[in-house]
Structure 1
Amino acid sequence: MSTDTLLKELGVSGGRDLGMVDEPAFTALAERHRRELHVHCYRMLGSFQDAEDTVQETFLRAWRRRETFEGRSTFRAWLYRIATNACLDLLAARRPEPATGGEVPWLQPYPDRLLDELRADDADEPETVAVARETIELAYLVAVQHLAPRPRAVLILRDVVGWPAKDVAELLGDSVNSVNSALQRARAGLREHLPAERQDWTGSEEDTRTRELVRRYTEASVTTDIDGLAALLRDDVRCSMPPTPGLYVGREAVVNDWIESGFGQMTGLRAVLTSVNRQPAVAVYHRQDREGAYLPLTIDVLRITGGAIAEITTFHADQFPRLDLPERLPA
C-alpha cells in the first residue's frame, strides 16, 4: 500500500488535515521513505554521514511544516522537496564550492545491503524510484560533485528522480526555461568528469570474467604482488583514497605510488570480498600480533571496464563498521 493511500485512509488531503495526525503516525509515514531520501541526499552530497544528518533534518522540517502539505502533490514528492532544500542549505553552509580536479575528499561509500532496502514502486505511485546502478556508482558520484549545487539538484531531480521541469522550477523558485538551460549545462559538465568509456560502461555486472578479475586482484593484494596487480590495471587507471589528497592517473603513476608507500613490503594481510555502491570491493585486514587478530586496514572499491580495472577508490578503516564488515578476523 502506498503512503498516499494510507494518507487517504487517515482522511488527509492537505496541510490542515495532516496537522491532525499525531507525531508517531506522521513519523511512521515519513519513515517509509527514509532509504530513498537517504540515497537522494547521498547523490546530492557524496557523503553517507552528511546524507544521514540531512534526512534527519528533513523529517524535522517536515513535522514542523506539515501544514504546508497541500495535497496537490504526493506526500513523497513533498518530502523530496524538503530534502533537496535541506541539501542545498547544507552545501551553502559547508561546501559552497564544488569539487575540482577529479578529487572529492568528502566522498564516502554506500553499503549495498542498504541499497537493497529500496522497495519496488507501488503500482499506484505516480513517480518512480530511480536507483539505476550507474547513478550510485562512485564515478558518477564524483562527477556530480563537480557540479554547482543548484545545477546538481536540477540534474538529479530531472534525470534520476524523473521530475518534470515545471516541478523542479517550482522547487527552486525558477522558470522552466532556466531549469531546462541548467539541465543542459549540468549534463555537459557531468560528461566532462565521467569516464571516457561511459557509453560502454557495464559497471559491476557480476559475470564470470569480472569475478575472476576480482579474485586475482584479491590474491595479488594479500600477497602484495605489485607486478600481478599492475597486470590487472588499464593503462589509464585512476586511483584515489578520500579524504587523503591525491589522485593518481595511469598505471605507472599508480604503481609508483604503491612502491613509494611501501605496500610491496607489507606482510600479514587477509581480505574479505564485499560490494558497495553496486561495485565489487575488497576489504583488507592487517595482522596485529599484539591483538592476536587481523584488524581493518583499507577497502578498495573497483570499477571494472573491458576486463580490466579502470578505477580503484580506497577508503580507510573507519568505514568498515558502516559497511557491516567484521571488526577483526581471527589470527
Structure 2
Amino acid sequence: MTDDEAAFIAAARSNDAAQFALITEPYRRGLQVHCYRMLANYEDAQDLTQETFLRVWRRRESFRGHATLRTWLYRIATNACLDFLDRRNDRTPVPAELPGADSEVHHLQPYPDRMLPEDPQEAVVARETIELAFIVAAQHLPPRQRAAFILRDVLGWPAPKAADALDLTVASVTSALQRARVTMRERLPDRRLDWRRPATHELSDDERDAVRSYIDAHERNDLDGLTALLRDDLRFTMLPDPGTVTFTARDAVDGWVSNGLFQRGYDDWRCTATTVNRMPAAALYLRAPGDPEYRLFTIAVLRVVEGKIAELTGFDAADKPWLDLPATL
C-alpha cells in the first residue's frame, strides 16, 4: 500500500474531508479526461468527475487497498459515466441529414489542452486518444463496449481488472473489446491502433503552417486561399448545428458561401492560433458592422495531413469560458 492509499484510509476513517480532498485532487484531471473519452463532452465530463468525487466520499470506507487508489477511482468514474449514459438518449450519434454522410455527434465539445493531466505518467497516453476523430469514433460504440475498450486498450488494464470494474465476466469483456476494435478500425482506417504507445505532443511544422495560412486567409477574406488549404475529401462539421457535415471541400466551400462567409457582416475577422484536443486550432473573432470590438465567434479545429486540412471541425465558442479564450479582441 502506498503512502497516499494509507492516508486515504486514515482520512476515510476519521471523516477528514480536507485531507480526503488533498489526497484525491491530483487525480482530477486524469479522471476528467477519462470521462471525456466516455462522453465526448467537456461540460458533461466536468459534471461526472464531480459526481465521481461525491461517490468516492460516500463510499470511502469501502476502500480497503486491495486495488490501487487510482484503479478504485477510475472504476467509480467509469460506472458514473455508464449510469449517466443509461439515463440519456441524446448521447449517441444521430443520422446525418446529408445522404451518405453517416452520422453526427451533436454533443461533441472540444477539450482544452490546459486541462490535460500534468502528471507525466498520465500525459504519455497516446495523443490520438484525445483527438476528435478518436473521440467521435468511440461514441459509435455501445456504452459498455466503449468502457471495455477504453479500460483495456487506452488505460491498459488487464481483462480481469476491467471485468471487475464493469461487473462482467472476463469472457464478456474480451468479446466486447474484440467488437469495439472492429468498429474503431472501420472508423479510423488510416490511424495506428496501438493506443497505449506514447505519441508526440508537439505540433508538426505542417500543422503550424496550416494554422497560420488558415488565419491569414480568414483575415484577408481570401476564399481562394482558404480553398487551396483544403484536401478535396475534406470532412467539415459545424457544431452544435445539425446537418452541417460535408465530405468534400467543394461542398464545404459552397455551404460557407451560401451562408455569407466573407460577405458583409462576415468579413471583418481577427484570429488567434491555439490548440485543443492536442490538435491545431484557430479561434475566430468577428466584428459586426458598427461594433468597436471583435467578438469570439467560433473555434476551428484542424486535422492536417501532408500539409493540407483533411478535417475541419467548427465549434460555437461563445459562452464557453473553459476554453480560456478572451471574449473580445
TM-score normalised according to structure 1 size: 0.89
* Aligned positions of 1:159-238 closer than 5 A: 159-194=153-188, 196-199=189-192, 205-238=202-235
**1:65–1:20 distance in 2 versus 1, CA, 3 Å:** same
Q: Does 2:320 match 1:327?
A: no
**1:204–1:61 distance in 2 versus 1, CA, 3 Å:** closer
User: In 2, are the aligned partners of 1:320 and 1:326 still within 8 Å (CA)?
Assistant: no
* Aligned positions of 1:84-99 closer than 5 A: 84-95=78-89, 98-99=92-93
Name structure 2 gaps, 5 residues minimum. 95-101, 194-198
User: In 2, are the aligned partners of 1:320 and 1:327 still within 8 Å (CA)?
Assistant: no
The residue that corresponds to 1:264 in the other structure is 262
User: In 2, are the aligned partners of 1:203 and 1:305 still within 8 Å (CA)?
Assistant: no
The C-alpha deviation readout for 1:210-244, integer Å capped at 9, x for no partner, is 32222111111222322211111112110101211
SS in 1 for 2:242: strand
The residue that corresponds to 1:7 in the other structure is 5
Please give the alpha-carbon distance, in whole angstroms, between the structure 2 residues aligned to 1:204 and 1:120. 12
The C-alpha deviation readout for 1:171-226, integer Å capped at 9, x for no partner, is 222111111111010011112222x42249x9985233332222111111222322
The residue that corresponds to 1:104 in the other structure is 105
The residue that corresponds to 1:297 in the other structure is 297
The residue that corresponds to 2:99 in the other structure is none
Please give the alpha-carbon distance, in whole angstroms, between the structure 1 residues aligned to 2:291 and 2:91. 43
User: In 1, are the aligned partners of 2:51 and 2:80 still within 8 Å (CA)?
Assistant: yes
**1:293–1:129 distance in 2 versus 1, CA, 3 Å:** closer
Please give the alpha-carbon distance, in whole angstroms, between the structure 2 residues aligned to 1:151 and 1:223. 47
Name structure 1 gaps, 5 residues minimum. 122-127
The C-alpha deviation readout for 1:106-151, integer Å capped at 9, x for no partner, is 0111111111x42123xxxxxx665321000011111001111000
Please give the alpha-carbon distance, in whole angstroms, between the structure 1 residues aligned to 2:8 and 2:74. 22
- More deviation, 17-26/34-43: 17-26
Which letter maps to 2:261?
Answer: F
CA RMSD of aligned residues (A): 2.3
CA apart distance, 1:320: 4.8
Please give the alpha-carbon distance, in whole angstroms, between the structure 2 residues aligned to 1:207 and 1:120. 21
TM-score normalised according to structure 2 size: 0.89
SS in 1 for 2:208: helix
Give the length in aligned residue pairs.
Answer: 315
The residue that corresponds to 2:316 in the other structure is 316
Q: Does 2:146 match 1:145?
A: no
Which letter maps to 1:107?
Answer: L
The residue that corresponds to 2:98 in the other structure is none
Q: Does 2:24 match 1:36?
A: no
**1:169–1:204 distance in 2 versus 1, CA, 3 Å:** closer
- More deviation, 25-34/45-54: 25-34
